[in-house]
Amino acid sequence: MARMGTGNMGRKNFLSWHGQKPQLIVTEPDLIKEILNNRDGVYVKMKVVGYGKKLLGDGLVTTEGRKWVKQRKLANHVFHAESLKGMVPAMITAVEMMLERWKHHDQGKEIQVFQEFRLLTSDVISRTAFGTTNHEADESKRISIEDMIDECKTFYFAGHETTTSLLTWTCLLLAIHTDWQDKATREVIELLGQKNPTPDDINFISRLKTMNMIINESLRLYPPVLSIVRTVSREVRLGKLNLQANIELIISTIAIHHDPEIWGEDVHIFKPERFSEGVAKATNNNTVAFLPFGLGPRTCVGLNFAMTEAKIALAMILQRYHFTLSPTYVHSPTKRLTSCPQHGLQIMLHAL
């Protein structure tokens, strides 16, 4: 049995450099908790400058202090359960449009789903979050136009690439592990039959237990966000370490998710059953063992949005198709902001 939630995972924190910048790679759970739960502005988000700022804006992902508090409140409101329910029809429509394209795809010819999921997630985000943020902002005039543009860029980036990554890796794992694909299909058909989900089915989403396990295992093996980074804003003591200002702190999600001391010797194997009794049980209440969406006040605000979107998309695909990996697929995970397969994901669709 794995030693879970104990000690420092048998690892040492260590110092490295990125160009001239000192980086501390933090591996001790207690220190990771302290960094991510910090609320007094000691460990701050990376400053985005130049091209990055043009691309991402200075939105919720990067802001600090009072501006962050204000934006976070607004975003929590946008993504809370009731308004999420209102976004489900748009998600379903976007998936239907993707599946309509798939209908015209030649049977027996591979399909490049990485590209399909990029289109899907960008369609979903334009149909949902933008509309809502704009509407909320118009109504209350709570944020400026410039801030609103930054928020739109942020949601677009934060919501689109990450969910594409999740859908793609999950699809790869299901294409290989067809026993789990069959289990997931059976669950979907039992709950929904052949009909499309409806907004009232938001409850059905929480009842997709097998799918939830599969998605969690996919997020563990292939976390879209590979590491979480903070900068030390002023001299501070962290555990036994004295840190000077401007050191970068790196928390490697992928290293934690692949640590046999936490997850056991079968750490590299796809075993959704680890999550059969939930995340807390799978990690033995070690909150830093599973960090796909981060931890603490800066936890992903789009978590439920992403999970809802992914479950709707996968459920609607599984209602119609069985799929297998194309022989042309080459496994080469790459980091382009988020993790993705370098050459895309080619699968073979078989209509049910």
Q: Token digits for 342?
A: 């370098």
Going by C-alpha positions, the residue among 262, 319, 333 that lies closest to residue 95 is: 319
- Annotated binding-site residues read 300
Nearest distance, CB of residue 28 and ligand HEM, angstroms: 18
User: Binding segment for ligand HEM among 8-16, 98-106, 298-306, 315-323 (CB under 6 A)?
Assistant: 298-306
Which residues within the stretch 88-127 sit at the binding site for ligand HEM (CB under 6 A)?
125
User: Binding segment for ligand HEM among 104-112, 155-163, 198-206, 282-290 (CB under 6 A)?
Assistant: 155-163
Single out the residue of 298, 308, 316, 325 in contact with ligand HEM (rule: CB under 6 A).
298
Which residues within the stretch 55-84 sit at the binding site for ligand HEM (CB under 6 A)?
60-61, 72, 75
User: Binding segment for ligand HEM among 7-15, 89-97, 162-170, 272-280 (CB under 6 A)?
Assistant: 162-170
Tell whether residue 154 is a contact of ligand HEM (CB under 6 A): yes
Nearest distance, CB of residue 306 and ligand HEM, angstroms: 4
Site string for ligand HEM, 122-141 (x = CB under 6 A): ---x---x------------
User: Binding segment for ligand HEM among 82-90, 153-161, 255-263, 267-275 (CB under 6 A)?
Assistant: 153-161
Site string for ligand HEM, 208-237 (x = CB under 6 A): ----------------xx--x---------
Nearest distance, CB of residue 341 and ligand HEM, angstroms: 15
- Annotated binding-site residues for heme read 300
> Parallel, antiparallel, or unpaired for β 21-25 and 248-252?
parallel
- The residue sitting closest to ligand HEM, measured at its beta carbon, is 302
Binding site for ligand HEM (CB under 6 A): 60-61, 72, 75, 125, 129, 154-155, 158-159, 162-163, 166, 224-225, 228, 292-294, 298, 300-302, 305-306
